[in-house]
Amino acid sequence: MLDIKYIRENLEKVKKGCEMKGVEIDFEKLLDLDEQRRKTLKELQEIRREKNRLSKEIGKKVGEEREGLILEMKKYSEREEKLEEKYEEIEKEFFEILSQIPNLPLEGVPEGKDESQNVVLKVWGKPKKFDFPVKDHLEIGENLDIIDTKRASKTSGSRFGFLKKESALLEIALTNFVLDLLLKEGFEFVIPPVLIRPELFWGMGYLEKGREDFYFIEKDNLILVGTAEQILGPMHANEIFEEKDLPKRYLGFSSCFRREAGSWGKDVRGILRVHQFDKLEMFSFCLPEQSQKEHEFFLGIEEKIMQALKIPYRVIKVCSGDMAFPTAAQYDIEAWIPSQNRYRETHSTSNCTDFQARRLNIRYQDKKTKKLYFVHTVNGTAVAVQRTIIAILENYQNEDGSVKIPKVLQKYLPFKEIKRI
């Protein structure tokens, strides 16, 4: 959430940021409500001061003079009650509009309406040239009996899949590989709950835009997370860090749940776009001056993982209109998918500045001034398991239908190749 004082002092900049993200805000109404709430609050404070003065005077008086002061106090109390009701109404409307303002794009973010205007920053590795017709991941998986979407459709409906035998073991291998790498970088491993309270989900900035993509458990007033990031941030809601403890980095493993609303007819084949998948997610609480460097650090880790797996990829700088509501800057990594002859997203990393911390009231104490300031938050994919398995199956496939295992994963598995028995 943006600070209203910042909005008042930087109105044109805020308007431009909203325009870049394709969000329309009635700023005239917002500022009018802000003026009303400040005026009403000032009146309330004056009434409360006068009531305090009268309270002291009443204690000193007796008889008719005391009764007169009590009557005057009653009039102030009635006026106070009406003003409190008025303030609550103004504050509610003010807060509703303020909550619709997204995080503003940082300087250097490309301006654009959608993913077609994202910018390619880097391409790593050369796609392999196959001398045989390539198969897609589902054909490979079904032939090897390691992916089963037909039975998943029977048990759970469309857009689910069973990972079986070698593919299930491959998930564990990917998890262990990334764990080994990131524990050395000082990340703290967490397996969080996958259900979160709505007010904390709101705090992360995912209720204003895109709420139709999440599963709501209405009876229990809980939401299934779409990524571990959404619950790692609220771990420290209403807490204060010591400056020396920042950056505080977590690596969370969770199943992720997404309705994929509005995507029917897109990528319905296989396990590319499913309602449930597993992911290892990086999350950092850091000092404001650290967040851009931390963002680059996360991107570096993602590249390191992809290079170790030897999967060709490209790095994308995401444009303003393609970024999420709480995001100020974002990079994506897209892996080469041979069957589609194109790159597809496997990783994303975002700098959310102090936007989420303000909503969740997460601060740190400056070691010199002892003042409290909001932290910055950075998130990033370490490995989206199913999508990475897709990339491995397709890039490491052989003509006979078998699949080689990336060398870096072989020590975590009892096999170096997946083949039909």
Other CB atoms within 10 Å distance of the CB of residue 29: 12
Are residues 391 and 383 in contact, defined by beta-carbon separation less than 8 angstroms? no
339 catalytically annotated = no
Are residues 284 and 247 in contact, defined by beta-carbon separation less than 8 angstroms? yes
CA 321 – CA 18 distance, rounded (Å): 10
Measured at the alpha carbon of residue 202, what is the angle toward residues 253 and 357, in degrees to the nearest 5? 75
Reference 305, options 388, 371, 376, 234; nearest CA is 388
| DSSP letters for 103-166 | PPPPTTPPP-SSGGG-EEEEEES-----SSPPPPHHHHHHHTT-EEHHHHHHHH-SS--EE-HH
49 catalytically annotated = no
| DSSP letters for 77-98 | HHHHHHHHHHHHHHHHHHHHHH
Count of alpha carbons within 13 Å of 133, Cβ hemisphere only? 2
Catalytic residue chosen out of the listed positions 273, 314, 344, 358: 273
Place of tokens 């072989």: 410
CA 33 – CA 94 distance, rounded (Å): 6
Catalytic residue chosen out of the listed positions 348, 350, 363, 394: 348
Reference 243, options 286, 282, 284; nearest CA is 286
The radius of gyration of the chain's CA atoms, rounded to the nearest angstrom, is 27
Catalytic residue chosen out of the listed positions 37, 159, 258, 359: 258
Measured at the alpha carbon of residue 236, what is the angle toward residues 235 and 237, in degrees to the nearest 5? 100
CA quadruple 165, 166, 171, 177: dihedral, nearest 10: 140
Catalytic residue chosen out of the listed positions 166, 291, 387, 394: 387
348 catalytically annotated = yes
Catalytic residue chosen out of the listed positions 91, 303, 345, 402: 345
Category of 183 on φ-ψ map: left (φ > 0), alpha (ψ -120 to 50) or beta: alpha
**Single-letter residue type at 268:** V
Pair type for strands 403-404 and 417-418: antiparallel
- Non-local (6+) Cβ contacts of 173 within 8 A are 405, 409, 412, 413
Structure tokens at 236: 């420290």
Catalytic center residues: 258, 273, 345, 348, 387
